[in-house]
A = this chain, B = another copy of it.
Amino acid sequence: MKFWTLDEPDIDRIALGAGILGTGGGGNPYLGSLVAKALLREGRRICLVRPSDLAADAQVLALSGIGAPTVGVERMAEGDEGLRVVRAMEDYTGRRIDALIADEVGGSNAMTPMIAAAKLDIPVVDADGMGRAFPEVQMTTFFVHGHVSHPAVLADFEGNVMVVTAATSPQMLERLLRAGTVAMGCTAYFGTAPMSGAFVARYAVPHSLSQAWSLGQTVLAARAGKADPVAAIVAASGGALLLRGKVSDVQRSVTGGFVRGRLTVDGLDEDAGRTLRIDIQNENLVARDAGGVLVMVPDLICIVDAETGRPIGTEEQRYGLRVAVVALPAHALLRSEAALGSVGPRAFGYDFDYAPVGFSSEALPAPGYGA
């Protein structure tokens, strides 16, 4: 089996790219990247493995943080919550976990499995269940493709642990985990039922950590070469630049546990006179201009600093920021009819069907693996 052993610059690249793929949500990967790099300096290893290289019967656990990102920042993880989830799942099932995988590559949860895997000395699968960030547990390609909704483990930094031993649906699992998270103080870690390597190879969004790495590398290279990071992101991702402009209005409120709102971006320079409106429910969901909907979930609407390419989270948005809005194509696994029921516009309350924006959905080249 080939592993890609990450170094500190790799972590920085993945964190930067994961921020872009967070589409405004998913939490900031920065804190997690500091923890991951500190583990490398302690002599721990973080190894990625391609999903196609997993043993068919490998036990793969999807591990994520859950809760309000703002609380996650204020009340920093003590670092062992993920480990606690893995150990509790091993205790409950009586089987060893062989590898970890991210539910969402977008945002801080790109880092979550790496930190636990470094402590456990097991690999992380270069793949995830969303290819981006989404607000709810059941919105992964795993559950879209019939993954069982139990057992699942939830743990917090104080040592509280609960195991959902039976959930009638992934939606019910989401409700139970969310409720437990609130009881735990709005920040916790969870792991869903272990998946087989064969299942992961078939249904995870492949090479999404590599994609994050490529995006990060692209932005850093453009900055270093005094090139335009935004143009570099578009070129490297098969994406489309929707608009460069200035944030002119931010409506944002917390309702039902989610950040909901709308962002208005007025075009500048060659985009002067155009205005983009972006609906937010934790993540950026739908972008419209005067002509109607331009991009919609599950395709990615990424907002970055117009000068540096730095991703800007929903909670950071404010009047006057100079931003670029870039659309990236969702992976084909998210565009199937089955997936759109969970992650298409109607799943978020819109009364229209998904229409692709016409991107290519070819996987990016996967760097870093040995020959």
Contact = CB atoms under 8 A, between A and B. Distances in A.
Interface of A: 88, 91-92, 155, 158-168, 172, 175-176, 178-180, 182-184
Contacts of A166: 88, 155, 159-161
Instruction: Identify whether the interface residues of A are mostly helix, strand, loop, or mixed.
Output: mixed
Nearest to A84: B166
Contacts of A183: 172, 175-176, 178-179
Contacts of A165: 88, 91-92, 161-163
Name the residue among A155, A158, A166, A183 with the largest chain B CB count within 10 angstroms.
A183
A176 B163 contact: no
A241 to B, nearest CB: 42
Contacts of A182: 179
Given A92-B165, A160-B167, A172-B183, 10 more contacts: A88-B165, A88-B166, A155-B166, A160-B168, A160-B176, A161-B164, A161-B166, A163-B165, A179-B183, A180-B180
- Residue among A158, A172, A179, A184 with the most chain B CB within 10 A? A179
Contacts of A167: 160
A83 to B, nearest CB: 13
Contacts of A162: 162-165, 176, 180
Contacts of A161: 164-166
A312 B164 CA distance: 37
Contacts of A88: 165-166
